[in-house]
């Protein structure tokens, strides 16, 4: 087994329920990954500026497939940026206005945006995942940014039905994917975590069978199917578990780090 790239989702996978990880253990494994020439990639639906805050001191050595693949940054340099054109943005916002239980954040390269009339509880929820979050009078007014994702939030019990309704309403303008905890992302067709990994593979000459990927939610499916070695957390969604080669310990049991230790033979 030769692993040259390890790609990890964050929420529900690499991070525990306290939104943290065993930093001492990770640092020890990271030094060994560096020694072996194994690339460590963070692949998440979250914002780049939020993701890099979890890795102080080494963030410019790492690679990030952020925003579900719409923004890929490696060693501090931009590798790929997706874009949804403004006409589609307006069409989608008009459709979303009919989903009265939903809340929306519009995600761009420079910042994420939230309407001023959103409740404070949703603004606070958004700030956890979007360290750059600007309030605007209306999402229709956002102009001076490259926009590439919608992040929606619904009551958890509605998500399954909402996903079906969104698929029907949106056609192929954008693709709805579940990212756990009542969150749904609308992503550019064909631009997902696996696409982001492919961009990095081109840079590094890494083959699919040399990748180990870890995830737990619907937005990890393409990445798990793409990687030669795929692992889903025991706390993962049932529909995602069937896509992986192996189900491992949960995010609260250090599942990812224990498996990485095994993979790199430390």
Strands 183-187 and 147-153, sheet pairing:
antiparallel
φ and ψ at 188, to 5 degrees? -70, 130
d(CA 173, CA 186): 9
Residue 16, judged by CB atoms within 10 A of its CB (0-12, 13-18, 19+), counts as middle
Give the 3-state secondary structure of residue 27. Answer: helix
User: Would you give the distance in Å from CA 131 to the centre of its chain?
Assistant: 15
Which sign does the torsion angle of CA 129, 44, 47, 168 carry? negative
User: Would you give the distance in Å from CA 220 to the centre of its chain?
Assistant: 8
Count of other CB atoms within 10 angstroms of residue 185: 25
Give the 3-state secondary structure of residue 80. Answer: strand
Q: Which positions are annotated as active-site residues?
A: 9
């Amino acid at each position: 087994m030769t692993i040259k790239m390890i790609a990890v989702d964050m929420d529900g996978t690499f991070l525990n329920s306290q939104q943290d990880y065993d930093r001492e253990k990770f640092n020890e494994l990271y030094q060994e990954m560096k020694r072996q020439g194994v690339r460590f990639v963070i692949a998440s639906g979250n914002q780049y500026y939020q993701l890099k805050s979890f890795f102080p001191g080494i963030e410019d050595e790492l690679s990030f497939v952020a925003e579900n693949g719409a923004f890929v940054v490696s060693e501090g340099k931009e590798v790929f940026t997706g874009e949804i054109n403004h006409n589609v943005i307006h069409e989608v916002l008009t459709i979303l206005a009919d989903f009265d239980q939903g809340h929306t954040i519009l995600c761009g390269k420079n910042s994420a945006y939230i309407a001023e009339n959103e409740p404070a509880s949703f603004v606070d929820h958004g700030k956890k995942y979007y360290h750059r979050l600007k309030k605007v009078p209306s999402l229709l007014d956002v102009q001076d940014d490259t926009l590439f994702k919608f992040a929606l939030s619904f009551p958890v019990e509605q998500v399954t039905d909402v996903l079906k309704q969104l698929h029907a309403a949106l056609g192929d303008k954008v693709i709805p994917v579940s990212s756990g905890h009542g969150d749904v992302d609308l992503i550019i067709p064909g631009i997902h975590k696996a696409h982001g990994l492919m961009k990095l593979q081109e840079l590094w000459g890494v083959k699919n069978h040399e990748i180990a990927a870890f995830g737990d939610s619907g937005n990890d499916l393409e990445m798990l199917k793409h990687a030669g070695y795929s692992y889903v957390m025991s706390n993962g969604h049932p529909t995602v578990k069937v896509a992986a080669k192996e189900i491992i310990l949960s995010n609260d049991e250090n599942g990812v780090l224990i498996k990485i230790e095994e993979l790199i033979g430390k």
